[in-house]
Amino acid sequence: MNPKIKNLPKIELHRHLEGSIPIPLVMEWSKKYNLPLSHDMQVKNPMPLGPVLERLFYQQRCFQNIESVETLTYEVLKDIASDNIKLIELRFSPSFMAEPKNLSFDSIMEATLAAKERAQKDFGIEVGFILISSRDYGIEACEETINLAIQWKKEIIGVDLAGNETEHPPELFEKPFQRAHTEGLNITTHSGEVSNPHHISTSIHKLKALRIGHGVQAIQDPKVIQDLIKYKIPLELCPTSNLMTQAISKIELHPLKKLMNAGVLVTISSDDPTLFGTTLSQEYDIAIHHLGLSLDQIQKTILTSFHHSFSSDEQKKRAWKKYFKYLEK
């Protein structure tokens, strides 16, 4: 890998906390709490999205108590900082993290925020949390997550909708997300990853999404592309993840550059780096060597990430002054 890529100050908008726990830590936790593990913990070959998401249950088991939530969050942020990521939006599902031991949502929030404060001080990074509502848990759980997000809206930067979009289309969640929008919460949604591209437009118009997670299938529908351009909605693209979930059939066929050339705003992220055995630096390397992007175009995606980050103005000013002034050119 070109050292310039590794040393480049980076921004990541689409990364899951639960899919970022370093494998040595998962192994350590499994021994500590006598948890079942499997050689299938990582996704090494492309497979449908459903089986991919099932692999996350190995990481989920690590959340055994509130202490583990804080420790794991801190260690994930430490790992993020080691890749020279300076502004990170880290998303997680309180429902998913709470499930193994029925932890309280408020305690999870307190623990993750404590880890954030320590990590920002120790590693010189700016951190924002996005709360995920998992489609698979249903409408009632979505309402609960939005309630939690509203309660903690001064401490988080946005909300997300994730999970199986084919079985749970975005319009089912219109009411809670409209409420989130009314409360001033920033909204991103997983949409058009492996499902019909028209879900992307539904997410923009009915769920008030300001960004789209993945959105790879937008390339199939000119009307969706027009929507993305008209409303200046960036895509949070994750090349390795998109290959492993069979959103694309070959890495060279990833539409990132085509979408960029069409005028769509694109950003690059790692999604679940532990799950897919990648890093953000590796995703940049793939974009250059397999998708034909130049280093200048990589920097353009970083600038897009900066302008469309949900992080506070104060965080962005600090990060710009310390790390991103080089993008002025």
> Over 178-210, what HEC string results?
HHHHHCCCCEEEEECCCCCCHHHHHHHHCCCCC
**Distance set, CA 301 to CA 256, 264, 269, 304, 328 (Å):** 11, 11, 10, 5, 13
**Residue 186 within any structural domain of the chain:** yes
**Residue 192 within any structural domain of the chain:** yes
**Residue 7 within any structural domain of the chain:** yes
Residue 329 has pLDDT above 80, yes or no: no
Q: How many residues appear in the chain?
A: 329
**Residue 77 within any structural domain of the chain:** yes
pLDDT confidence tier of residue 232, bands split at 50, 70 and 90: very high
**Residue 162 within any structural domain of the chain:** yes
Boundaries of domain holding 307: 3-317
Arithmetic mean of pLDDT, 104-133: 97
**Residue 324 within any structural domain of the chain:** no
Task: Assign residue 249 the CATH number of its domain.
Answer: 3.20.20.140
**Residue 323 within any structural domain of the chain:** no
**Residue 328 within any structural domain of the chain:** no
Residue 204 has pLDDT above 90, yes or no: yes
Which has more pLDDT, 91 or 30? Answer: 91
Give the DSSP letter of residue 104: -
Looking at residue 38, its pLDDT comes to: 65
Mean pLDDT of all residues belonging to the chain: 94
Indicate the number of domains in the chain: 1
